[in-house]
Amino acid sequence: MKSNRISSYSFAVLISLMFVLSSCSYLQQKMNFDANSQSEKKVLSVKAEFVKDTLQKPNYGFRKVNRFTPVLHKDLIVIANSLEGLAAYDIGDRTLKWTLPITKGVESAGAVINSRLFVGGLNGVFYSIDLDTAKIIWEFDTKSEIVAEPVLHDGYVYFVSGGNILYCLDAANGRQVWVYNRQDTGTQMTIRGGAKPTISGDKIYEGFSDGSLVSLNVKTGTPQWEVLLNKNTKFKDIDASPVIDGDIIFINSYDDKLYAVSKSSGTILWKSQYGGASTPLIVGDRLVYTSSKGHLVVISKASGNLIWQNDKIQGIATDPILHKGLIVVGESQGSVLFFDLLTGELKGHFDPGRGVLGRLVSDKIKRVYFVSGEANLYGLTVENTKVNNNFSTIK
């Protein structure tokens, strides 16, 4: 009897011990699983899936400014550089479809409507070009290099030349309709650039290198009001396009501030802390823009109050764009950067070499396209991937 009691007791202890060991093993596996899960996080993988050298011949001379914004047209992607002119590639197989030489090249962005590209050259000539045939429909000589993007409206094309003159041309034939000459007799320095006009109703709004924002009648060019925004003694330029939301104009001024201006009267409503050359982006109740001091800034659209800022931009940044819910900007001395819209956290980057000066463009689905400072065309894809925290390579 005693022996049986010992045996039963031993069996019970053995079962209890096995249960404890099994529990410990389960807990250890769970802890390892949780630790592994916590050590992994999603990061943004940025890859160049589309790369093309846009120069037909190597450039052994002075480095040129390349800041053309790629144009997506049907199955083509059209680009330009500041040496040779325009070229179009098949966006699928990446083969060269056509080239259009333009003396001194093209630096400004273009505007497209009904397969027609309207763009100005560094030779001072403004062009209307058939994108399907690469034929020049008409040209208009301003006798001053053109580096500003045009805008199309109701059959007319509007743009600013390097001579600080706002032109209105008939888009069908290139005939001059009116001009507004904003010659500045001052001696202050100006930065290289020019603002794309903005049209709302029967008014056109344009910023000039003397720091003024002007409202004009869109059909006659007659000034309606003007306001001097930037009173700096050095750089006064307004090279950002005005952005209109209701009765408010948001306009960025180089080395100064971003202003909210009444569209009807030109009255300054408020101004932010930083200014620059980028056109602000409206995202919901927020304004996103970059400054000349190397900031990416997000402010309240209603008040101008700061929501967040990132101070690590190298050089001057391009106009911000949205791609898959991320803010994307290019650095003039660095990379293409992808930021979280809500927090400002840097999620990913891509370094093309020699920076980015021209505005980026998103196809909204797959890629972000841009021309680098070296005149290379890139198409970037972005996707979330899981990596171990110990091996994260985000910049």
Look at residue 32 and give its three-state secondary structure: helix
Assess contact for 117 and 68: CB atoms under 8 A.
no
Distance separating alpha carbons of residues 158 and 206, to the nearest angstrom:
10
pLDDT at 5 over 50: no
Q: Which residues pair with 328 in a beta bridge?
A: 321, 338
> ∠348-351-355 over CA atoms, to 5°?
120
More confidently predicted of 148 and 57: 148
Distance separating alpha carbons of residues 61 and 185, to the nearest angstrom:
33
| Structure-token pair, residue 344 | 């400002």
Assess contact for 190 and 211: CB atoms under 8 A.
no
Supply the pLDDT for residue 306.
94
Assess contact for 380 and 335: CB atoms under 8 A.
no
CA 291 to chain centre: 13
pLDDT band at 16 (very low <50, low <70, confident <90, very high): very low
pLDDT at 7 over 60: no
Is 34 exposed, middle or buried, given 0-12, 13-18 or 19+ CB atoms closer than 10 A?
Answer: exposed
Supply the pLDDT for residue 274.
86
Q: Which of 222, 242, 238 is nearest to 282 (CA)?
A: 242
What is the pTM assigned to this prediction?
Answer: 0.83
Look at residue 28 and give its three-state secondary structure: helix
**C-beta atoms surrounding 107 within 10 Å:** 25
pLDDT tens for each residue of 245-299: 999 999 999 878 999 999 999 999 999 988 888 999 999 999 999 998 889 999 9
Q: Which of 242, 201, 235, 241 is nearest to 218 (CA)?
A: 201
pLDDT at 23 over 60: no
| Structure-token pair, residue 193 | 């650039």
Distance separating alpha carbons of residues 114 and 107, to the nearest angstrom:
22
CA 207 to chain centre: 19
Residue 267's H or E segment, with its range, is none
pLDDT at 27 over 80: no
The whole-number average pLDDT for the span 187-213 is 83
Supply the pLDDT for residue 235.
73
Which CA distances in Å does 342 have to 189, 250, 280, 308?
Answer: 37, 21, 16, 9
How many secondary structure helices (H) and strands (E) does the chain include? 1, 32
Supply the pLDDT for residue 24.
45
pLDDT band at 192 (very low <50, low <70, confident <90, very high): low
pLDDT at 209 over 50: yes
More confidently predicted of 242 and 188: 242
Show Cβ contacts of residue 120 under 8 Å, excluding neighbours closer than 6 positions: 106, 108, 126, 127, 142, 145, 146, 147, 148, 150, 159, 161
In the sheet that holds 165-170, the strands lie side by side as: 151-153, 156-160, 165-170, 176-181
Supply the pLDDT for residue 165.
92
Say which range, 150-154, 259-263, 382-386, has the weakest mean pLDDT: 382-386
Give the end-to-end CA distance of the chain in Å, rounded to a whole number.
75
pLDDT at 392 over 80: no
| Structure-token pair, residue 30 | 């769970």
Q: How many residues does the chain have?
A: 395
Look at residue 156 and give its three-state secondary structure: strand
Distance separating alpha carbons of residues 69 and 16, to the nearest angstrom:
73
Supply the pLDDT for residue 386.
55
Domains belonging to the chain, first-starting first, are 39-54+312-395 (no CATH), 57-181 (2.40.128.630)
Q: Which of 261, 167, 184, 274 is nearest to 221 (CA)?
A: 167
| Structure-token pair, residue 152 | 């199309």
The whole-number average pLDDT for the span 84-107 is 93
